[in-house]
Amino acid sequence: MVRTQRPRTEPVYQITGVAPGLQQDIAARSRRYAWSMGLRSVCFVLAVVTTGWVRWTFVGLAIVLPYIAVVVANAGREPNRPMPAVHQPVPQRLALEAPRELGAGPGSVRATRPPAA
């Protein structure tokens, strides 16, 4: 008997700060680009149909929108939300205290000066 995988009906919860997959990112960027180019096409058609200052506004938008669409479409793979904070304690470095005077502690060696030449 061969089991086929049924589509999931219950929701899948995302519990990590991992970014969406590459396929999802490319699909979202493609949709943004398509919408921008569709808006540019509408501006181009309206520039042909209208007259006066409105025409030049639509011409300007039709010229500028491709640049904006490319910039928006290429702005991908950035994290959408902040990554979860991970607490990493800073290690404490303890230092030994130096004796106040040389040879002040028990078992210390007195410093001797080298003989003068």
pLDDT by residue for the chain (117 residues), tens only, comes to 556 666 667 776 666 666 677 888 888 888 888 998 899 999 999 999 999 999 999 999 999 988 988 888 787 666 555 655 666 666 777 777 766 665 555 555 555 566 665
Tell whether pTM > 0.85: no
What integer pLDDT is reported at residue 104 of this predicted model? 53
DSSP letters spanning the chain? -PPPPPPP-SPPPP-S-PPPPHHHHHHHHHHHHHHHHHHHHHHHHHHHH--THHHHHHHHHHHHHHHHHHHHHH--SS-SSPPPP---PPPP---PPPPSSTT-STTPPPP-PPPP-
Q: What integer pLDDT is reported at residue 54 of this predicted model?
A: 92
